[in-house]
Amino acid sequence: MKWELYSKNIIKPLLAARAPHLNARHYDAAASVFPFRNNPYVINKLIDWSNVPEDPIFRLTFPQPDMLKPEQLESMLSAILTTEMCDHVKERCKRNFIVDRAKLIRNGLNPHPAGQKEENVPKLEGRDVLGCQHKYQETVLFFPAEVGLSPVRLSLARLSFTDVGSKQQFKGKVPQLLMEYIAQHRQVKDVLFTGGDPMEAMRLIRKTGANIRTQSPLVRGINDSAPVWTEMWNQQVKLGAIPYYMFIERDTGAHDYFSVPLARAYEIFNDAKSAASGCGRTVRGPSMSAGPGKIEIEGISDIPSEDGKGLQKVFNLKFLQARNPAWTKAPFYAKFDPKATWLSDLNPAFGGDKFFFEQEYEDQIKSDSSKSSGQMDFSEPPSCGST
């Protein structure tokens, strides 16, 4: 099959031919806000067009109108219609008008959650190390510019943004800068590279004798089913990979469309893990990569209520990684909320006003802006409570 890279120009004719029951204008509007890339293999071999729009691969690779709020969709449709009615305006001006409207909507969708731009970008001799994030002391993430055009993004905890070609895009063009940074920060033990061809990468990495650990987001309407996760983990084990994390969908972009309630996520994770092979039970989760750190839902418990009458349900939480490593030592608890989908939806159990780490995290944000949290020295660990 000949390789081609499809952009959003194909959406209207393709849907007219394969899914005439769908409103192609609405899908075109969504693709003006959320980046769209596809190819003949996905369109002809992977999507079940008889099951569109419910087909998971279609939902994963085609921006859905419901990813936008009604007023955002209407605003985008209005912008497109305006350009179609202005015959005397140059095509470049029409494109810029649509791009500006899409950018306005996109900027309101929390494109870089959890302090990625403000708190995670490290500095070397006073300059930002572009394309890098150093949130946790021992781990650096690098986003090579060469792999920014991934047609299908299956392994990220955020499906909505790649921001290719925009100022929002994370990309590193100078690998030498990354090497200099790591040489000066000897506490770094892991470097994570994002992007590329996963199948080819697995083959080459396995040839070196290195281990491969896998992680994936839990996404409503795509893989929010325990058997799907069990099958995936078992297949990964067969390929010699080690299941590592189940992620909660980040609070960015079309979070309301893709998110799964934390209680349901915990249920899916437990059911999937209990049915997986023994070698697949190395996996941890479900976890949230929030501003303070990576937080795991360890359980849902019934404990004596604060007034001593009856029981109250709580989420049992723990840091897997944190901006301050000392935070990983203490479990903490949140009031149970069946609708909660992110840390910001949770409140401390036992009547507390804040979780034990919140004040220190707020102080970190206000303190040393010349460093990312991974560069900070935490020689005085805080006293960690349980709320």
Per residue of the chain (387 residues), give pLDDT as tens: 777 889 999 999 999 999 999 999 999 999 999 989 899 999 999 999 999 999 999 999 999 999 999 999 999 999 888 888 776 667 777 788 888 899 888 887 776 665 666 677 888 887 888 788 888 888 888 877 655 444 444 334 444 444 444 454 445 556 778 888 888 888 888 877 776 666 677 888 888 988 888 889 999 999 999 999 999 999 999 888 999 999 998 887 788 889 999 999 999 999 999 999 888 899 998 999 998 999 999 999 998 877 777 888 999 999 999 989 999 998 999 999 999 999 999 999 987 889 999 999 888 877 766 666 566 665 544 443 333
Q: Among positive and negative, which fits the CA dihedral 213, 219, 225, 228?
A: negative
What SS3 state is found at 203? Answer: helix
Which residue type is seen at 206? R
- For 24, 64, 100, 166, 279, the CA distances from 149, given in Å and listed in that order, are 24, 20, 21, 12, 33
Q: Residue 144 has what pLDDT?
A: 75
Whether the full predicted model's pTM is greater than 0.85, yes or no, is no
How far apart, in whole angstroms, are the C-alpha atoms of residue 38 and residue 58?
A: 10
Q: Residue 212 has what pLDDT?
A: 87
- Residue 317 backbone zone (phi > 0: left; psi -120 to 50: alpha; other: beta): beta
Q: Residue 372 has what pLDDT?
A: 67
How far apart, in whole angstroms, are the C-alpha atoms of residue 377 and residue 187?
A: 11
Q: Residue 85 has what pLDDT?
A: 75
Q: Residue 219 has what pLDDT?
A: 93
Helices within the chain (DSSP H only): 11-18, 24-33, 40-41, 56-61, 70-85, 91-107, 175-184, 198-207, 226-238, 255-258, 262-275, 358-366
Q: Residue 96 has what pLDDT?
A: 83
